[in-house]
Amino acid sequence: MKVLNLYAGIGGNRKLWGEQHEITAIESEQYIASAYRKLYPNDTVLVTDAHQYLLDNYKNFDFIWSSPPCPTHSKMRLSLVNTSSTL
């Protein structure tokens, strides 16, 4: 099965999928993608925008896993924490 793993991070849910699938992982940060590659060297890992990749390629996959970062771990949350401490 061809799997698209959007917002791959370091592969949290990926560890449960085994090695029998052809997996393409999408990550927006190079340093995180590098960590993913070390854990899953047989996967294709691309550093690009997940939304655009999905729009352009969704027909090429049998299964799409989309797990955006939770708000408590996002850059937006960090910016709000930094802003609120200066008010």
Q: What is the pTM of this model?
A: 0.79
Q: Where are the domains of the chain?
A: 2-84
Rounded to an integer, the average pLDDT of 52-69 is: 94
Q: Average pLDDT, whole number, for the chain?
A: 87
| Residue 73, pLDDT score | 59
75 within 8 A of 15, measured Cβ to Cβ: no
* pLDDT at 87 > cutoff 50: no
Structure token pair of residue 22: 């052809």
Q: Which helix (H) or strand (E) element contains residue 4?
A: strand 2-6
User: Into which CATH architecture does domain 2-84 fall?
Assistant: 3-Layer(aba) Sandwich (3.40)
Neighbouring-strand partners of residue 44: 24
SS (H, E, C) 33-76: HHHHHHHCCCCEEEECCHHHHHHHHHHHCCEEEECCCCHHHCHH
